[in-house]
Amino acid sequence: MKRRIATVLIMLVLALVVVACGGRAAQVEVTRLASETIVEESSGSFAGGEAAPMDEAAAMPEMEAMEADFDTATANQQPLPAGQERLIIRTADMAIIATDTEATLAQIAALADSSGGWVVSSNVYQSTDTAKTGYVQIRVPAEGFQSIIDAIRGMAVEVTSLSTSGQDVTEEFVDLNARLGNLEATAARLRTFLEEARNTEEALAVNVELSRIEGEIESISGRMQFLEQSAAYSSITVNVTPDELAQPITVAGWQPGGVAKEAIEALINMLQLIANAVIWFVVFALPVLLIILIPFVLIIWLIRRLRGRERAAVVPTDSTRTPPTD
């Protein structure tokens, strides 16, 4: 009896275990099937239907990073074009001694103008009481750079210093040109996206990015124009010192040359004063004196004439008298 009861209990326990295992397996199977169904529905919706629109604000930084990487890779791999001339920016700094500072600066300015260049800046200042120092900066065509330097050298009594330099900007110009082409292509695509925008938010996002690209295009274009002009016209700066200051004659603080010059200036001033006095006398004082003296001369002449007539009338009267007799 006890054995039968134990056998029945064991069978019931086994039955419960089997049922429990079967229920858990079924639950796991249902969960797996549901997951597969969700995945299949999601895949089918993305494959068969239209993709959900992305957030423009989140997608824009990713697009900018891709464009930057593409521009950098393209610029690094861009070879020099076959017809591209080398762009070299040449500059020169000179210091010369000249007999006349102002005349030399005027000659340098005229030389720049005649060669097709222009004067960038010029300045003359009084360094002493009798001498002036100055400088001038000019831009001249690059092909005449050396000839202009030689011409300025010919104007000088002495060239105290001369330094020239050249900066090759060909690679930078080519890289900028490649970036400009990529940005213009990107701007064209953005204009197409702007026309195809479905709502205001998309249009505003595309317009912001288009404005940024156009700003970069203007910046690169300005830089390229600056490089071309700087390479086409070289810069020359000339500092001019008068010969009097460069080679003074000094003996224990005494400058005979300066003293002699002051004496000559004093003599010239005195001669100028005398000449001015003569001119004033001839032009101004002499006519005034003539105007004043002419009436007096006429009066004196008339008085003398009248007296002469009176004397002539008295003499015959006296001659007719008889001398007294004794």
Q: Which residue, among 52, 68, 56, has the nearest Cα to 207 in the 3D structure?
A: 56
Q: Provide mean pLDDT across the span 35-55.
A: 39
Name the DSSP letter for residue 251: B
Read off the pLDDT band of 323 (50, 70, 90).
Answer: low
Strand order in the sheet with 118-126: 118-126, 132-141, 233-242, 88-98, 158-168
- Establish if 284 belongs to a structural domain: no
Q: Which residues of 174-210 are buried (b: 16+ CB within 10 A; e: fewer)?
A: bbbebbbebbeebbeebeeebeeeeeeeebebbeebb
pLDDT in tens, 75-93: 444 455 666 788 999 999 9
The amino acid that residue 248 corresponds to is P
- The region of weakest confidence among 61-70, 132-141, 195-204, 215-224 is 61-70
Q: Residue 123's beta-bridge partner residues?
A: 135
- Establish if 33 belongs to a structural domain: no
- Establish if 195 belongs to a structural domain: yes
The amino acid that residue 39 corresponds to is V
Q: What pairing do the DSSP bridges indicate for beta strands 132-141 and 88-98?
A: unpaired
- Cα separations (Å) of 2 from 11, 15, 170? 14, 20, 107
Read off the pLDDT band of 314 (50, 70, 90).
Answer: low
Name the DSSP letter for residue 49: S
- The region of weakest confidence among 32-36, 119-123, 309-313 is 32-36
pLDDT at residue 148 above 80?
A: yes
pLDDT at residue 106 above 60?
A: yes
Read off the pLDDT band of 235 (50, 70, 90).
Answer: very high
Read off the pLDDT band of 272 (50, 70, 90).
Answer: very high
CB atoms within 10 A of CB 132: 18
Cα angle at 22 between 17 and 28, to 5 degrees? 130
- Establish if 282 belongs to a structural domain: no
- Interatomic CA distance for residues 303 and 189, integer angstroms: 117
Read off the pLDDT band of 251 (50, 70, 90).
Answer: low
- Interatomic CA distance for residues 224 and 175, integer angstroms: 10
CB atoms within 10 A of CB 152: 25
Q: Which domain holds residue 153?
A: 58-268
- Establish if 221 belongs to a structural domain: yes
Q: Which residue, among 108, 114, 95, has the nearest Cα to 241 in the 3D structure?
A: 95
- Interatomic CA distance for residues 245 and 133, integer angstroms: 9
- Establish if 27 belongs to a structural domain: no
| Sequential DSSP letters for 67-123 | HHHHHHHHHHHPPPPTTPPP-EEEEEEEEEEES-HHHHHHHHHHHHHHTT-EEEEEE
Tell me the pLDDT of the chain averaged across its residues.
75
Residue 236: half-sphere exposure toward Cβ, Cα within 13 Å: 31
Read off the pLDDT band of 68 (50, 70, 90).
Answer: very low
Highest mean predicted confidence (pLDDT) among 25-29, 48-52, 66-70, 211-215: 211-215
Q: Provide mean pLDDT across the span 96-109.
A: 91
- Establish if 287 belongs to a structural domain: no
Do 135 and 280 meet the contact criterion of CB atoms below 8 Å apart?
no
pTM (whole model) above 0.95: no
- Establish if 288 belongs to a structural domain: no
Total domains, the chain: 1
| Sequential DSSP letters for 188-204 | HHHHHHHHT--SHHHHH
Q: Provide mean pLDDT across the span 90-113.
A: 92
Q: What pairing do the DSSP bridges indicate for beta strands 132-141 and 233-242?
A: antiparallel
- Interatomic CA distance for residues 313 and 309, integer angstroms: 6
pLDDT at residue 252 above 80?
A: no
Q: Provide mean pLDDT across the span 16-40.
A: 40
